[in-house]
Structure 1
Amino acid sequence: MGKPTGFLEYQRLSEAYEPVAERLKKYKEFVLRLTDEQAAVQGARCMDCGIPFCNNGCPVNNIIPDWNDLVYRGQWKEAIEVLHSTNNFPEFTGRICPAPCEAACTLNINADAVGIKSIEHAIIDKAWEEGWVQPRPAAVKTGKKVAVVGSGPAGLAAAQQLARVGHDVTVFEKSSRIGGLLRYGIPDFKMEKGLIDRRMAQMEAEGVRFRAGVIVGAETTGPGIANDAQEFVSAEALQKDFDAVVLAAGSEVPRDLPVPGRDLVGVHFALEFLIPQNKAVAGDGPNPISAEGKHVVVIGGGDTGSDCVGTSNRHGAASVTQFELMPMPPEEENKALTWPYWPIKMRTSSSHEEGCERDFAVATKEFFGKDGRVTGLKAVRLEWKDGRMSEVAGSEFEVKADLVFFAMGFTNPLGKLLEAFGVEKDARGNAKATTDGVGCYATSAPKVFAAGDVRRGQSLVVWAIREGRQCAREVDQFLMGETVLPR
């Protein structure tokens, strides 16, 4: 805990943002982290709540009260040690995690939750600045070789954990740069990619080998996929050359909307817009899709949709409209019914604040255009009763649209990766692997494991890190007969 009476004395202080007019001119991060003094005061708000529900609200089970207390007392180096004990990459989660820990905070029952995410952000950034984040190579090598397929947060977490206990780890990535959707799916204004690069340098010093531009198992194609591979490695070769294989390839098949006019020019999946933009920021060529001066419609109300909104505004879109199939959620949740679980409530992102008209309970029925290019869409209002959706008679309307982005989520791993390894699928088309009992994360294929979105389906970065860490423990147990890695 922090100060015993801190939650009574201090108000929650959220991180500040640069002004909208300034941040729209660039693709740099614009969140201003708390000062050391501000973070200490926020840490003081952590209660002696007896049962810290935030620990279980956090998928990686961060020991949150401990590092809140350490920050309050100015013991920053100890704070990063506690934080790193459960989370390999707090600079990622401190920026892009939605913070389910804060929803579970005991103080959140009848007041503002402790600003856990902002404190985490402050701890890790200070740790990098002070030089406290150093490589931790294994003292003894095991002689065992592990291949990790996919370099998103699950793959990186698994690779780092396995390297630190002495295994020789090689990470394979289909794109030309390491990071998966951390690199290509999340805009730089939310998370700059230098954060990935410095972790890569640390991991290379720990013995991890990175091989980018490599297709593993089967040809991988898909809408907007950053597939610029120059090399192919078969599943058989990996199974022969490595003692274990971890599949952490993510879930990148986007949901489509097969309505009339779907094939008009200007109707795209979100990643067809976001991936080239991240490449453009990295200096890898211009984005072929420009929203400058155009009326943009984003279909889908989640984080990917928000990223399309923010990127369109930076392009200089004439207008941005976002449709959501579900009804507008309440401004505030009923905490007596939802706490300590993640509540459904109205969430307005920084991208929405930069300029966006949001409309709820809307279904798109048709796209129309001129000379083969989209110029608008037809939609209808929806009514929800008892969990069932029906169209409201006479509620049809049209919206002007020069660009349309589908941001309705992702369903499955790409291509035939799982088939190439002979991995059995679950009912949703993901890798079938349990997280309970004996053989956690092990697939039906010999010595092949699966972690992250390729196993659980589309989820959060923090869940991917959790799965990567836990999978690494199971791989180490499989290879050595015992393990010292934490769950």
Structure 2
Amino acid sequence: MGKPTGFIDYQRKTRPERDPKTRINDWDDYTLRLEETELKEQGARCMDCGIPTCHTGTMLNGMTSGCPVHHLIPEWNDLVYQGQWQEALKREHKMNNFPEFTGLACPAPCEGACVLGINEPAVAIRSIELEIVEKGFKEGWVKPEPPESRTDKKVAVVGSGPAGLACAAQLNKAGHNVTVFERNDRIGGLLTYGIPEMKLPYAVVERRVNLLKEEGITFVTNTEVGKDYPVSKLQNEFDSIILCGGATKHRDLEVEGRELKGIHYAMDFLHANTKSLLDSNLEDGKYLSAKDKNVVVIGGGDTGTDCLATSVRHKCKSLTQFDIYEKKGDVRPDNNPWPQWPIIHRVEYGQKEAAAVFGKDPRAYAVMTKKFVGDENGHVKEIHTIDVETTTDEHGRRTRNEIPGTEKVWPAELVLLAIGFNGPEQGLIQTLQVETDERTNVKAEYGKYQTNIEGVFAAGDMRRGQSLIVWAINEGREAARECDKYLMGETSLP
């Protein structure tokens, strides 16, 4: 701790954002960068906590508290304050293979558990995290580091999202011959096709993937294991298999009129937009356009926010986001104490952009969809809703009660379902005869990652269900450790 009074002397400052009315005209990163002097001041706000909780990821009240990859946050905060950027980068990479991904796309549970955050604005951990690694790339400090020697073991990683990439990176460090299989045309999984360009540019993903290639990892795209690549061949050619395919089975909304045209899963909307953008700058027309349409996004989470931001850039006619929950307060409720993740009202980049265009926050709270109504061509034209009141009993069970007289009809030519996922797709799982749990996730104990099939491991959302990018990195790293131990009888991986 270089400055004992840093948290008193300096106010929290995060990466500034570009003007919403300007940034909606392009697909560039919507944030700007802090100056080096500002970053040093933000690093100085990190206190000499007796028991820092920012870097110890755990689950509290069903939500993540602290950093699951156990980032050495107090250490690199102080190093930034001291101007020792290269050392800060080393400490950052020690626990996280991809701080640029988490620096851009993680919701920062570390900040929710920051000790300073008990009664002051938390340390701007995520902004500092990103700038350390970006400075590392700019200065040429981030270089490929292939292993000094190779084993004779071959490992297949199925899926190239954050879990798969972290797993592959660690196994490669151990000297194994790693091949990553991806069914899409680009590496990255939901990092590439689930998070829009303005939030996580593909160039950032590609930059890291190219490093991993230089370090010796083989990537195979446009190849779905179980369809394009037989499972029997995979089992015969590789000494071990790690399943990192994510939780991509969509949760549906089973109400009247669901079959109408114009109703799509949010991920299909985001995937098609990013692919068309990267392939042709949207000139090929191979995406679901929101232009001149009344758009309704059903779901109040990050994916819904990404749909808002994408629709605004398409120049939609109107934009509404349904949230089944009531509007939250600006401060923690009494039953949500630190260091739990703070359940408070937030205005994210997509809502800011919608407000800049349409004059108000696009969200409608405590709204339940009752039915979709279509036109004579079978295309959705409106949504019928009713307001609901949610109550919670002493066991934590929620009940939603409709409020009579609150029925409403909303115009909608494009409806995007952003209500989450119901676990992993089952085709490969069933072919491998891997056991699943009651939620259809691959059954493998946390910390062990071994499935019921010899030599087959599972990590990330495919094992734990829909979760955060930082949990995926955590599980990918740990699964690599267990796989290395299985292959070699011992391991030096963390």
TM-score under structure 2 length normalisation? 0.94
Q: Secondary structure at the match of 1:118?
A: helix
Residue type of the alignment partner of 2:201: E
Is structure 2 residue 46 aligned with structure 1 residue 41? Answer: no
Among residues 387, 393, 414, which one is paired with 1:403 in the alignment? 414
Residue 379 of structure 1 corresponds to: 385
Tell me, in whole angstroms, the C-alpha distance in 2 between the residues paired with 1:384 and 1:200.
Answer: 45
Contact 2:459 2:475 in 1 (8 A): yes
Deviating more after overlay: 417-426 vs 147-156: 417-426
Residue pair 1:10, 1:41 contacting (<8 A) in 2 also? yes
Counterpart residue number, 2:373: 368
2:63 corresponding residue in structure 1: none
Picking from 256, 268, 272, the partner of 1:272 is 268
Q: Is the partner of 2:388 in helix, strand or coil?
A: strand
- Equivalent residue letter for 1:111: E
> Which one of the candidate residues 454, 457, 469 is aligned to 1:461?
469
Matches of 1:335 and 1:329 in 2, distance apart? 13
Please give the secondary structure, in 1, of the residue aligned with 2:54.
helix
- 8 Å CA contact 1:279–1:286 kept in 2: the answer is no
- Which whole-Å deviations, capped at 9, do the CAs of 1:192-231 have from their partners, x for residues lacking one? 00111111111111110000000102x4xxxxxxxxxxxx
Q: Output the amino acid matched with 1:459.
A: S
Contact 2:336 2:343 in 1 (8 A): no
Counterparts in 2 of 1:215 and 1:336: CA distance versus 1, 3 Å: closer
1:18 aligned partner, one-letter code? R
Change (3 A) 1:256 1:292: same
- The CA deviation at 1:52 is 0.7
Structure 2 residue aligned with 1:222: none
Q: Give runs of aligned pairs for residues 414-453 of structure 1, distance below 5 A.
A: 414-436=425-447, 440-453=448-461
Alpha-carbon distance in structure 2 between the residues aligned to 1:288 and 1:480 = 47
Aligned counterparts, 1:256-267, within 5 A: 256-267=252-263
| Equivalent residue number for residue 347 of structure 1 | 346
Q: 234-243 or 38-47, which moves further after superposition?
A: 234-243
Question: Does 1:359 find its partner at 2:367?
Answer: no
SS of equivalent residue, structure 1 residue 432? coil
**Uncovered stretches (5+) of structure 2, i.e. residues with no partner:** 57-65, 355-360, 393-397
Deviation at 1:235, TM superposition (A): 1.5
Aligned match of 1:477 in 476, 479, 485? 485
Contact 1:35 1:122 (C-alpha < 8 Å) held by counterparts? no
Secondary structure of the structure 2 residue equivalent to 1:263? coil
| 8 Å Cα contact 1:268-1:404 kept in structure 2 | yes
- Within the alignment, does 1:62 sit opposite 2:61 as a pair? no
Alignment partners' CA distance in 2, 1:330 and 1:44: 30
Shift of 1:334: 3.6
Identity among equivalent pairs (%): 49
Corresponding residue of 1:98: 107
The structure 1 segments of at least 4 consecutive aligned residues displaced by more than 4 Å after TM superposition are none
Match of 1:160 in 2: 169
C-alpha displacement at 1:415, in angstroms? 4.0
Alpha-carbon offset, residue 261 of structure 1: 1.1
Q: Secondary structure at the match of 1:147?
A: strand
1:287 shift after superposition: 3.5
1:151 — aligned with what?
A: 160
Distance, in Å, in 2 between the alignment partners of 1:17 and 1:109 is 26
The number of equivalent residue pairs is 470
Alpha-carbon distance change, 15 to 335 in structure 1, aligned in 2, over 3 angstroms:
farther
Q: Is the aligned partner of 1:241 residue 2:252?
A: no
Structure 1 CA distance, aligned partners of 2:121 and 2:157?
41
Amino acid across the alignment from 1:389: R
TM-score, normalised by the number of residues in structure 1: 0.95
Matched with 2:358 is none
Displacement of 1:385 in angstroms is: 2.1
Query: How far off is 1:176 after superposition?
Result: 0.9
* CA distance in 2 between partners of 1:418 and 1:167 (Å): 24
SS of the aligned residue for 1:32 comes to: coil
- Deviation at 1:414? 1.8
Post-superposition Cα deviations, 1:52-109, rounded to whole Å, max 9, x if no partner, equal 1001110101010000000000000000000000000000000010000001000000
- Please say which of residues 279-288 and 64-73 is displaced more in the overlay: 279-288
Shift of 1:327: 1.6
Distance change in 2, residues 1:407/1:143 (3 Å):
same
Cα distance in 2 for partners of 1:106, 1:214 equals 46
Superposition deviation, residue 318 in structure 1: 1.2
Deviation at 1:241, TM superposition (A): 0.8
Residue 276 of structure 1 contacts residue 286 of structure 1 at CA under 8 Å; is this kept in 2?
no
Secondary structure of the equivalent of 1:338? coil
3-state DSSP of counterpart to 2:381: strand
Instruction: Give a deviation string over 1:126-168, Cα, whole Å, max 9, x none.
Output: 0000011111111111111000000000000000110011000
Preserved CA contact (<8 Å) 2:263 2:415: yes
In the aligned structure 2, how far is the partner of 1:3 from the partner of 1:87? 26
Task: State the one-letter code of the partner of 1:73.
Answer: Q
Name the SS of the counterpart of 2:95 in structure 1: coil
Identify the match of residue 143 of structure 2 among 134, 142, 166.
134
Task: Give the counterpart letter for 2:457 in structure 1.
Answer: F
Structure 1 residues 354, 360: CA separation in 2 closer, same or farther (over 3 Å shift)?
A: same
- Please say if 1:305 is aligned against 2:304: yes
Q: Secondary structure at the match of 1:91?
A: helix
Distance 1:450 1:245, change over 3 A: same
Q: Deviations over 1:337-386 (max 9, x none)?
A: 42011121112111100114201111100011212111111000001222
Matched, 1:183 2:192: yes
Q: Work out the CA distance in 2 between the residues paired with 1:331 and 1:111.
A: 14
For the Cα contact (< 8 Å) 1:293–1:316, is it kept in 2? yes
